[in-house]
């Protein structure tokens, strides 16, 4: 059953949630206020299974998540140089699909418990379609879609660096392999691909999922710390780091469950999380609180503002004319480019990359979705964006989640 819905949602999203919880006995679901229709399971959807893991629920970008670091720098240290800073971010960090890290991979920027990442036995569970050397080369790259590096200032004018991305091609290949092995379908309104946890396939998937999750953590650590140290020239005073595409073994209502969160942030009491808005909106650092609403939500909250329109709707649809070679508009964009840039100019945000599908107009307002969850979280810091870096408009995101 769906036992908690935050905010309002369209019929397709609700139907998709029902399909996920109906797929296994006694499954329970939660839909966060930033939720929207996704691949097999809604983004912002949380489903708890007794003995199964949902490959499609974890999704193609295994371990996608957010990391934020508060630096020892102040707004006055960076205010007048944001243009140069953002130029350096996109010149030194690789964005886009299939990119390799152009910098020397300094493992000192990655937590010690993950420095054995490429020597673990868990690689035996990874499908043979994965090229370990390519995965190593992609570590510390950001990717495409809604993945970003942002520079913020909080309410006390402290400078923060925030990043959002996941396990890159490694996670996508793992998900594709196990989705096929589980007999699942790649699509939107399709049943979730469930694997029994005690099966050999289940054990293999969990090992590969954990590996991809640690890979995602390591990548975000490297990027965040590189930007703080090598680009801003600062030091880190505090860090907040969390997945939002993953499956966790947790106890709820006195029973153990596999809690599958797709685009939802874990929010146990006092557990902190970094939640982004859109390229022109504030982000927040939150902490979970103990309450009846929190327990009903399986201690989960939003991972962002949530889309109000699909990518193609926002940026329009274009097709190349076979005779002339020119691009023709099949469906006009729902977002006006001038309005997007005016929004960013009014907010004094320096943008590098990005396109209409990531415009503020394509998203809910983060303040609105946070109000829906006010009984489950508290806001610790409000972060105002100074600079936003994303993949450019010529990059197509194939990773779906």
- The Cα–Cα gap between 388 and 271 comes to 26
Provide the residue-wise pLDDT of the chain in tens; the chain has 401 residues.
999 999 999 999 999 999 999 999 999 999 999 999 999 999 999 999 999 999 999 999 999 999 999 999 999 999 999 999 999 999 999 998 888 998 999 999 999 999 999 999 999 999 999 999 999 999 999 999 899 999 999 999 999 999 999 999 999 999 999 999 999 988 899 999 999 999 999 999 999 999 999 999 999 999 999 999 999 999 999 999 999 999 999 999 999 999 999 999 999 999 999 999 999 999 999 999 999 999 999 999 999 999 999 888 999 988 888 878 887 888 899 999 999 999 999 999 999 999 999 999 999 999 999 999 999 999 999 999 999 999 988 766 554 45
- The Cα–Cα gap between 2 and 33 comes to 14
Of 287, 293, 278, give the one whose Cα is nearest residue 379.
287
Determine contact, residues 111/155, Cβ cutoff 8 Å: no
Strand locations in 6-144, DSSP E?
Answer: 28-36, 43-49, 52-54, 65-74
- The Cα–Cα gap between 219 and 140 comes to 4
- The Cα–Cα gap between 372 and 34 comes to 10
- The Cα–Cα gap between 387 and 161 comes to 10
Tens of pLDDT, residue by residue over 371-399, are 999 999 999 999 999 999 999 887 665 54
Q: At what angle do helices 200-226 and 168-181 cross, to 10 degrees?
A: 170
Of 266, 262, 204, give the one whose Cα is nearest residue 241.
266
Per-domain residue ranges for the chain? 2-389
Backbone angles phi, psi at 268, to 5 degrees: -65, 160
| Cα 270 to chain centroid, rounded | 21
- At residue 238, the 3 state secondary structure works out as strand
Determine contact, residues 64/71, Cβ cutoff 8 Å: no
Determine contact, residues 241/254, Cβ cutoff 8 Å: no
CATH 1.20.140.10 at 2-389, yes or no:
no
DSSP letters for 143-190: BSTT-EEEEEE-TT-EEEEEEEE--HHHHHHHHHHHHHHTT---SSSS
Which residue has tokens 């790649």? 186
Q: What is the pTM of this model?
A: 0.95
Of 317, 350, 354, give the one whose Cα is nearest residue 333.
317
User: Greatest CA span in the chain, whole angstroms?
Assistant: 66
Determine the pLDDT at residue 400.
Answer: 47
- The Cα–Cα gap between 338 and 125 comes to 49
Bridge partners of 329?
318
Two tokens, residue 378? 């508290």
């Amino acid at each position: 059953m769906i036992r908690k819905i935050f905010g309002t949602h369209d019929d397709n999203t609700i139907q998709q949630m029902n399909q996920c919880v109906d797929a296994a006995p006694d499954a329970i679901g939660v839909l966060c206020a930033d939720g929207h229709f996704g691949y097999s399971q809604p983004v912002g959807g949380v489903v708890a299974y007794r003995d199964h893991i949902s490959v499609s629920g974890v999704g193609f970008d295994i371990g996608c998540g957010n990391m934020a670091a508060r630096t020892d720098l102040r707004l006055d240290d960076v205010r007048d140089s944001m243009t140069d800073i953002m130029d350096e971010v996109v010149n030194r960090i690789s964005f886009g699909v299939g990119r390799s890290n152009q910098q020397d991979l300094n493992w000192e920027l990655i937590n010690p418990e993950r420095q054995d990442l490429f020597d673990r036995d868990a690689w035996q569970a990874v499908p043979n379609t994965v090229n370990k050397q390519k995965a190593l080369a992609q570590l510390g790259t950001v990717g495409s879609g809604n993945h970003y590096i942002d520079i913020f200032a909080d309410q006390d004018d402290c400078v923060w660096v925030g990043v959002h991305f996941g396990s890159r091609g490694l996670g996508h290949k793992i998900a594709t392999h196990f989705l096929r092995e589980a007999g699942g379908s790649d699509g939107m309104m399709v049943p979730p691909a469930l694997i029994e946890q005690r099966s050999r396939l289940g054990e293999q998937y969990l090992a590969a999922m954990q590996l991809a999750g640690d890979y995602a953590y390591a990548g975000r650590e490297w990027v965040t710390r590189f930007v703080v140290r090598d680009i801003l020239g600062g030091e880190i005073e505090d860090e907040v780091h969390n997945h939002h595409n993953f499956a966790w073994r947790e106890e709820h209502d006195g029973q153990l469950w596999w809690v599958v969160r797709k685009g939802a942030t874990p929010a146990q009491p006092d557990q902190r999380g970094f939640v982004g808005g859109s390229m022109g909106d504030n982000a927040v650092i939150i902490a979970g609180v103990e309450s009846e609403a929190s327990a009903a939500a399986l201690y989960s909250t939003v991972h962002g503002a949530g889309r109000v329109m699909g990518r193609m709707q926002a940026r329009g649809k274009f097709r190349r004319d076979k005779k002339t070679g020119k691009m023709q508009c099949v469906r006009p964009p729902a977002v006006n480019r001038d309005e997007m840039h005016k929004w960013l100019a009014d907010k004094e945000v320096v943008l590098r990359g990005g396109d209409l599908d990531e415009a503020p107009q394509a998203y809910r307002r983060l303040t609105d979705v946070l109000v829906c969850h006010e009984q489950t979280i508290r806001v610790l810091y409000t972060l105002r964006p100074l600079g936003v870096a994303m993949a450019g408009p010529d990059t197509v995101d194939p990773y779906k989640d």
